[in-house]
Chain A
Amino acid sequence: MSDRNKAFGWAANENSGVLSPFHFSRRENGENDVTVKILFCGVCHSDLHTIKNHWGISRYPIVPGHEIVGIATKVGKNVTKFKEGDRVGVGVIIDSCQSCESCNQDLENYCPKLVFTYNSRSSDGTRNQGGYSDVIVVDHRFVLSFPDGLPSDAGAPLLCAGITVYSPMKYYGMTEESGKHLGVSGLGGLGHIAVKIGKAFGLRVTVISRSSEKEKEAIDRLGADSFLVTTDSQKMKDATGTMDFVIDTVSAQHSLLPLFSLLKVNGKLVTLGLPEKPLELPIFPLILGRKMVGGSQIGGMKETQEMLDFCAKHNIVADIELIKMSDINSAMDRLAKSDVRYRFVIDVANSLSPG
């Protein structure tokens, strides 16, 4: 059993999801490891689902957080890509088997033995804790180089939200030709970044939302080309068969039928939200228009680095609300009501202090 060092963070202890100060330990920095002093950590909706055990797989206590940006303070002797003082990121996964077909294709995110950054167990038996904490120790293969020009706070959410939309855009062929029309359903953490990345790829982007509340922002600030309110039946009718792709970021129960109707023939619906129950899939629209629905889960390490570099080049960052660690519980309450434009980020280094 490796030696362990003291660490401090905030954890949920049961499914009320209330977070509170928590002392724990991290492993000693091994020869393949990078120790990261955490500066910022994004608050992902998955953190909320996990601390409240919505998916039934939570094992408490849980220190969430998988949108981590910090500074390398120690690197193991086998580590060549990073040195002390480098700005680095850690995302959703911290290990994989490194030998299966997925891993060999740089698709660690589809490895059947992938290890998530938190609420998971490593091969040495330790329970892994996430980035709402002061330090993390990660195998160098799962550490990302944070590009110059990408701010640490607003760049942190790219480590989950960014790659989660970037990867399917590439995989489902959305970036092959500019001028294609992408619908983004849901304007939250994932959705707002999908708009920005979609525009950077030269797509025409329409935001699809339940209410017109976010219309001005979507167009003036995020750069969407148009905005479609799903309850406006005339506008929905006019938009029938106009989109090449739709990215659906909504995790609440909802009907897929209106989204299918927006797709052109051969159109693709990519679903990224994680609802608790199955969704309803009408089959006729798939058949009549040769349409499809597919999914995607984050991205591999190589692709995540590519995404960070792309975002740095195009000045794409998340729209964030920076919070103190002590505000996390009220932030979670607001996140449950989608009351955030569009990602909370915890100012860990400046606000996390052992109690």
Chain B
Amino acid sequence: MGKVLENEAFGLAAKDNSGVLSPFRFSRRETGEKDVRFKVLFCGICHSDLHMVKNEWGVTTYPLVPGHEIVGVVTEVGTKVTKFKAGDKVGVGCLVGSCGSCDSCTEGLENYCPKSIQTYGFKYYDDTITYGGYSDHMVCDEGFIIRIPDNLPLDAAAPLLCAGITVYSPLKYHGLDKPGMHIGVVGLGGLGHVGVKFAKAMGTKVTVISTSESKRDEAINRLGADAFLVSRDPKQIKDAMGTMDGIIDTVSATHSLLPLLGLLKHKGKLVMVGAPEKPLELPVMPLIVERKMVMGSMIGGIKETQEMMDMAGKQNITADIELISADYVNTAMERLQKADVRYRFVIDVANTLKPNPNL
């Protein structure tokens, strides 16, 4: 690995589990022979960032510079880089490294590599800690860089790097991408709203399943969902029983799986992408008597992420975002905690993240 350029990077870091972010100077490595260096233009705020700044999963080391929905413009490439050049519009998602040799890596599933390195808060090959995209620039191995299609607005494309791939991957892997299939999307937040867009783009019929009426109009008129059902209304659930080929469940709060299993057709698949901390109750009868399945999925491999981004380019799929300045980030985190965002905050890094002159 190349040498470190001392304190030439700046960003926003959480320093303790209050999760409050403040200006932070740090160091990134020199551009290595396989590295791509890029100026960060925008970075999406993922709910995982919130969990991590507050150390809710118990794995955080401080100071933590979050951000794994990062887009920008290449400024420099290493001598062995072939796929990118200065001026290219690129992005980085949740991963910046993996072992490259295990079964998962050889199948293009770096996301399931036991030695995968996350974009922030993880130890890199050179023993440094990775810093994420709430910062002015990134250095990343070519193998983990995603090209952003020219026609996509960069700010609204940023959330696809995590939210987009998280819903795209299971729709493809579990065969829920066939035109005419009926897909349910549970929860209409960052993941859910992008789930609706991708599922519709794949030609499926989409029903949004939500705990309250309030998002019905948006779901149908703006996001293009075909139907909307309130999970707390037993009649709406009953009328839709046995109608769905698959359900993407984006909800991370504890909730009941029984009505969701009931909505599936025989052999239907319930895919969990939201991650409740505590175990949920699994009613076994629907699995046995109707051969239904519950499965999980986590982001996607790099090849697949590029495939997802290319599809987004062709079909003009982007996230619905609220663009914010860097100094709004703590307020944004508080609003995110209350799910008060339609549907992803994106930090306008290049225009609003300034180095703190006192540091």
Contact = CB atoms under 8 A, between A and B. Distances in A.
Contact of B288 (A278, A287, A297): A297
Main DSSP-derived SS at the A contact region = mixed
Given A280-B282, A281-B280, A295-B291, A110 B266 contact: yes
Interface string A267-301: 00001111100111111111111111111110000
Given A110-B291, A278-B282, A292-B293, A287 B272 contact: yes
B297 A290 contact: yes
A134 B50 CA distance: 68
Interface residues of A, number: 35
Contacts of B114: 241
B320 to A, nearest CB: 24
B304 interface: no
Given A102-B266, A291-B295, A295-B292, A283 B275 contact: yes
Nearest to B285: A274
Interface in B263-302: 266, 272-277, 279-298
Given A289-B296, A290-B297, A274 B284 contact: yes
A285 B296 CA distance: 8
A48 interface: no
Contacts of A293: 282, 287, 293-295
Contacts of A171: 291
Contact of A281 (B103, B173, B282, B288): B282
Contacts of A335: none
Contacts of B103: 264-265
A273 B284 CA distance: 9
A285 B114 CA distance: 13
B84 interface: no
B206 to A, nearest CB: 22
Contacts of A273: 284
A252 B173 CA distance: 33
A283 B272 contact: yes
A256 B282 contact: yes
B104 interface: yes
Given A294-B287, A296-B291, A288 B282 contact: no
Contacts of B104: 265
B126 to A, nearest CB: 25
Interface string B235-263: 00000000000000000000001100000
Given A272-B288, A278-B284, A285-B296, 15 more contacts: A265-B109, A274-B288, A278-B258, A278-B281, A280-B280, A281-B279, A284-B296, A287-B272, A288-B298, A289-B112, A290-B295, A291-B295, A292-B296, A294-B292, A297-B289
Interface of B: 103-104, 109, 112, 114, 173, 257-258, 266, 272-277, 279-298
Interface of A: 101-102, 110, 171, 241, 256-257, 264-266, 271-275, 278-297
In order of increasing CB-CB distance, the 4 nearest A-B pairs are: A286-B296, A295-B287, A292-B295, A287-B296
